[in-house]
Copies of this chain bind each other. A is one copy, B any other.
Amino acid sequence: MAKTTAPTNKHSRLIETAAKLAHEQGFKQTTLADIARESGVPLGNVYYYFKTKEALGEAVIDKLASAGQMLRAMWDASPDPKSRLEAFIQMSIDNRDSLARSGCPIGTLCAELHKEGGPLAQDAAKLFAELLKWLEAQFRLIGRRGESRDLAVHLLSALEGASLLAHTFHSTRYVEREAERLKNWIRSL
């Protein structure tokens, strides 16, 4: 594996670890000490990169936002909007084990942060806002101009709810079955 300079390496390792722990055990439950221990970065150094847990939370959200952008760019390579939407749905099937273990990284983060509110919660909401915008554009391209927003909300709701049930029952079945149903729905439009 190519090594970057030590500081950059530590910086991204901290964000990576924070994202992983926030997903596995919740953001508030995760302390800077947990992140230091798990990443192997001394706690003193953690404070050098991130003055507060809030700042690290922002970096985690930025990381999720970049990952979302990259995925959408990849799906955009598909020739037609229906196959792009199917690729989006397929992501839940591909990630079913992680969803059954810890839920959706974005959904559970939003649910947690919006209990308290504040700037971090607002930032997390943008992750869903960007995704909804993209989904809406696909439904418009299919020719469902007048109801593209409602269709986007329906698709995202169904997948997020199925992730919640998969997480609650620690079973991939909920995501697998619901995703197949949604793919059939997209094909039928």
A interface with B by C-beta (< 8 Å)? 24-26, 28-29, 102-103, 107-108, 110-112, 114-116, 124-125, 128-129, 150, 153-154, 156-162, 164-165, 167-170, 174, 177-178, 181
Nearest residue (CB) in B for A25 is: B115
User: Are A153 and B178 neighbours in the complex by a CB distance under 8 Å?
Assistant: yes
Q: Give A25 to B115 CA distance when docked, in angstroms.
A: 5
Q: Give A153 to B24 CA distance when docked, in angstroms.
A: 24
Residues of B contacting A167 in the complex (Cβ-Cβ under 8 angstroms): 110-111, 114
- Taking A128-B165, A169-B125 as contacts, is the C-beta distance between A112 and B26 under 8 angstroms? yes
A26-B28, A157-B165 given; name 10 further pairs at CB < 8 Å.
A26-B112, A26-B115, A26-B116, A29-B115, A110-B168, A111-B111, A150-B177, A153-B174, A154-B178, A157-B157
